[in-house]
Structure 1
Amino acid sequence: MDAKTKEAALANNARQFRKGIVPDEVRECYDNYAGRYDKDLNPESYLGPKMAAEALTSYVERSGWSKGKIRVLDVGAGTGFVAIQLANRGFKRMDALDPSEGMLEKAKTRGVYENFIQEFLTPDPTPGIANDTYDAVVSSGGMGEGHIPCGALREMVRVVKPGGLVVIAMREEYLRCTSGYENLEPTMAAMENEELWERLERSVLPGYCYHKDGLVYVFRKK
């Protein structure tokens, strides 16, 4: 399958996660997709995990933290692309959160996660995760149609320790073409005004996925 065909297939998958799709359907779509996910979204065509890992690594090193000791939650972990990139950079304590059992079963084979949490990230507290649990939350590809809602940004803040980091990598075009995401950056700004977090970075990065531009956001919890 050439790059153009793969891009069309991925766009079709995204359309399945339309506004109003119920969680069970999202989970089933990804369960069914898990077997070919790694082939379709390989490191040569999907640079988002590398971009997210590089951003988190940069700010962790600036903070003087030990990469081998801090706890990281990978939101929308999929089959573990982000964690592989982080493990290669010296991170050791990572948990995976994803609603798809099929995706998490693939992620378990990576040998890079400590814990697996099969849940959606929503505005409600995630079962089993206490306040201020993680030093950092990272997500690559978790933002999209029918995926993480804008309101779930507050849940990312809840589970991170004060002074901890939130790193989000996503397609830039989703701000314009994904239902509800016209409110994403206004929600981020409102959370800054409420002094829940401060924005450290907003970068547009070319080649995020199949030559589409990406966005990387980095926030620090107040």
Structure 2
Amino acid sequence: MENARNIAFKDFGKRDGMTTGQVADVFTKVADTYDEVWTTRNHRGHIYVAEGVADYFQADVMGFVRILDVGAGTGMLAEQLWTRGFRQIDGLDPSTGMMTEAMKKGVYTDYYLEFMDGHTIGKLATDSYDGLVAAAAFNTGLLPCAALLEMARLVKPGGLICFGIPHACFTDVKEYNNRLEPLMQRMELDGMWKLLDKKHHDDFYDNANPGNVFRYIVHASDVDVKYYVEKLCHAC
């Protein structure tokens, strides 16, 4: 258990090289203490993402907006969305333990045991959602760069994609170094989405660890995944 706790909450680098199943198993082992640990460490990334989403949608439509929470975990972000008036929230995460804890909260309509790695998730149709969110999901062993492509596919044109990323992840995470930000920019240049804004925060967790919350408006959900994956490979 202690090893799983270190990998989940402290030594993120140990997830490098682990399979998706192994990472999911780590989080299953710590699922019953996940909220307690991050609350103690003053995790705020999910709060900032929820604020960004609530600021985009009008209050009178929040109850009808369909949102997908990627890397949903125990539902900490969904709880924040719920308190702000959103009611149609689905979760997506590969950990059975996290799903068990999340579904106790009554904030999800559906919860999909899936890992978003760029492959087409057959259970979810193109343009299924008005919004997509991710908090604490961009880190070693979690969402790969190619996840952005599936995110864009799932959100309707005009819909919102909102996610938070600590600054250090862009350079410290091998998967993202010189790859994630260029992909975000390339997707914008190609007309797939448009950056609405990027909001800086000094304290994603531990009262430190600065990062940004990105808000993108989707323009086109017809994604040529092969093209972008090849671009990513060339950037390795």
Match of 1:126, SS? coil
Unaligned runs of 5+ in 2: 220-236
Match of 1:179, SS? coil
The range that moved more, 20-29 or 133-142, is 20-29
The residue that corresponds to 1:79 in the other structure is 74
8 Å contact from structure 2 (residues 7, 15) kept in 1: no
Alignment of 1:20-31 (within 5 A): 20-31=17-28
Deviation for aligned residue 1:81: 0.5
1:11 corresponds to 2:10: yes
Match of 1:207, SS? coil
More strand by percentage: 1
**Over aligned residues, Cα RMSD in angstroms?**
1.7
The residue that corresponds to 1:39 in the other structure is 36
What is the count of residue pairs matched by the alignment? 213
Match of 1:68, SS? helix
* Distance change in 2, residues 1:102/1:207 (3 Å): same
- Can you list the C-alpha shifts for 1:91-124, whole angstroms capped at 9, x where unaligned? 0000000000000100000101000100001111
The residue that corresponds to 2:121 in the other structure is 126
- Can you list the C-alpha shifts for 1:117-148, whole angstroms capped at 9, x where unaligned? 00001111113000000000000011010111
Question: Hey, what's the Cα distance between the residues in 1 that align with 2:8 and 2:76?
Answer: 20
The residue that corresponds to 1:55 in the other structure is 52
Match of 2:146, SS? helix
Question: Hey, what's the Cα distance between the residues in 2 that align with 1:43 and 1:218?
Answer: 27
8 Å contact from structure 2 (residues 70, 132) kept in 1: yes
TM-score, normalised to structure 2, is 0.86
Question: Hey, what's the Cα distance between the residues in 2 that align with 1:197 and 1:109?
Answer: 34
Question: Hey, what's the Cα distance between the residues in 2 that align with 1:93 and 1:26?
Answer: 28
* Distance change in 2, residues 1:129/1:174 (3 Å): same
Question: Hey, what's the Cα distance between the residues in 2 that align with 1:105 and 1:170?
Answer: 26
Match of 1:114, SS? coil
8 Å contact from structure 2 (residues 63, 87) kept in 1: yes
Deviation for aligned residue 1:8: 9.8
The residue that corresponds to 1:166 in the other structure is 161
Deviation for aligned residue 1:23: 1.1
* Distance change in 2, residues 1:70/1:212 (3 Å): same
Amino acid at match of 1:178: V
Unaligned runs of 5+ in 1: 1-5
Deviation for aligned residue 1:72: 0.2
96, 104, 107: which one aligns with 1:112: 107
Question: Hey, what's the Cα distance between the residues in 2 that align with 1:162 and 1:67?
Answer: 18
Question: Hey, what's the Cα distance between the residues in 1 that align with 2:153 and 2:60?
Answer: 20
Question: Hey, what's the Cα distance between the residues in 2 that align with 1:190 and 1:43?
Answer: 38
8 Å contact from structure 2 (residues 7, 26) kept in 1: no
The residue that corresponds to 1:3 in the other structure is none
Amino acid at match of 1:16: K
8 Å contact from structure 1 (residues 167, 217) kept in 2: yes
Structure 1 segments of 4+ aligned residues over 4 angstroms from their partners: 6-9
Question: Hey, what's the Cα distance between the residues in 1 that align with 2:53 and 2:94?
Answer: 23
Question: Hey, what's the Cα distance between the residues in 2 that align with 1:104 and 1:43?
Answer: 21
8 Å contact from structure 2 (residues 91, 112) kept in 1: yes
1:197 corresponds to 2:193: yes
* Distance change in 2, residues 1:130/1:9 (3 Å): closer
